[in-house]
Every structure is written in C-alpha cells, then in structure tokens.
Structure 1
Amino acid sequence: DIVDQKRVVVDGPESLTGVSRHMMPVRRLSLTDFKCRISRGARDKSLKAALDGEEVMKKWSETAWAKKLAAKEVRAKMTDFDRYKLKAAKKKRAGEVKKATKKSKK
C-alpha cells in the first residue's frame, strides 16, 4: 500500500517470509520481477494465498539473489570447527589447482 510519495507499507506475510507489516521508505526498497495480483490493504490470509497460488516464494528461492542470501546466512551460523574445515578444504583445493596448473605448463 502507498502511504505517500516517499513511504509504502510492506508486508511479508511474516509466517511465510519473516517480514512483518511495516512502513518503509521507497528509497530503501529493492524491486524484483515477481508480481502478485492482490487488492489494496490485503490481509495476511489473502496475501499468503496469492503468494502460494502463483508460487512466488518458489521462484524467489531459485534466484541468484536468494541463493546468495542463503549462503551468507549459512556462513554466519558456522561454528569454529566448521570454519576450520572450510579453511582446510580451501587449502587442499588450492594445492590441487596449483599442482594441475604446474603439470599443464610442462
């Protein structure tokens, strides 16, 4: 819903997307290509039904933007041991790449 020229009302719904209904400045929004046909002032139930009907969340999860956010979340939740395993795997991979490039130069 549009409040004025600079503010809009954004709604998730929270149960589906984690975004609660709130006002937000237009300049902080990032638009996507996904559209959903709903009426102004739609309630959570009708909004959720529209999102499910057009499979917007499924389409969103397949985008590079969503995958990048998911990877960022996974990295943020890593434990010390997970970070160590990642470092060791990267080191091993770099060694393999170095060995392969050295072999191809000869």
Structure 2
Amino acid sequence: MSFRVEYSLHAQSELVDAYLWIKERAPLAAEKWREELIGKVDELALNPLRHPVAPESEKFAREIRLLLFRKRRSQFRIYYTIDKKRVVILSVRRSARKPLEEGDLEL
C-alpha cells in the first residue's frame, strides 16, 4: 500500500529555516542534507508504521509518530501523523530543541 506524503505549512517553514541555517554555515553540505532528509521522508510513503509513536504523542488528540534523521549533534526529529492514505509531516526540528508541546503543531 502506498501513501501520499504531504508537509504542513509549519513543517515546510521549519525545513526551509533549517536548510538556510545549514547553508549559511556549510553551503555544500546544505543541499546534500536537504536531499537526504526529503529522501527519508519520501520513504514513509511505503511504510509509515515502521517508526515509533513519539513520546510526546500522549499530549495530542491524534497519534504522532517520530522519524529520527541523522545522529548525534546533527539529528533532526520529524514528527508526522497518518490520516487514511496520507502521511502528514507536522514538524522538522533539531533534536536539541525542547520536546513538542500542544501549541507547537497545527492539527
């Protein structure tokens, strides 16, 4: 079964902000980072249930899942929800940021 992957406006904004931040510091690495991240997100179309429910999910009315992208200091948390045949990316944030709170997402 294949799902359609979509980004919320909030997630799009976070993705652009992260890309620009990286590009300012390492222009060549920024494009590679963006391509890798989008590739990982696109893989959710095949099996979105392969990643765990996010620990913060209990704060929300919907189940929120978590895809970890990269490791250590450069790790990003990609939060998403599954809605019928859609995977909706809700947030793309550095792991160093505080955990999700109710007001952080548009559900």
Query: What TM-score range do you get, normalising by the shorter chain?
Result: under 0.3
TM-score (norm 2): 0.25
Larger Rg: 1
Q: Which has the higher contact order (CA 8 A, sep 6+)?
A: 2
Greater fraction of residues in helix: 1
TM-score (norm 1): 0.25
Greater fraction of residues in strand: 2
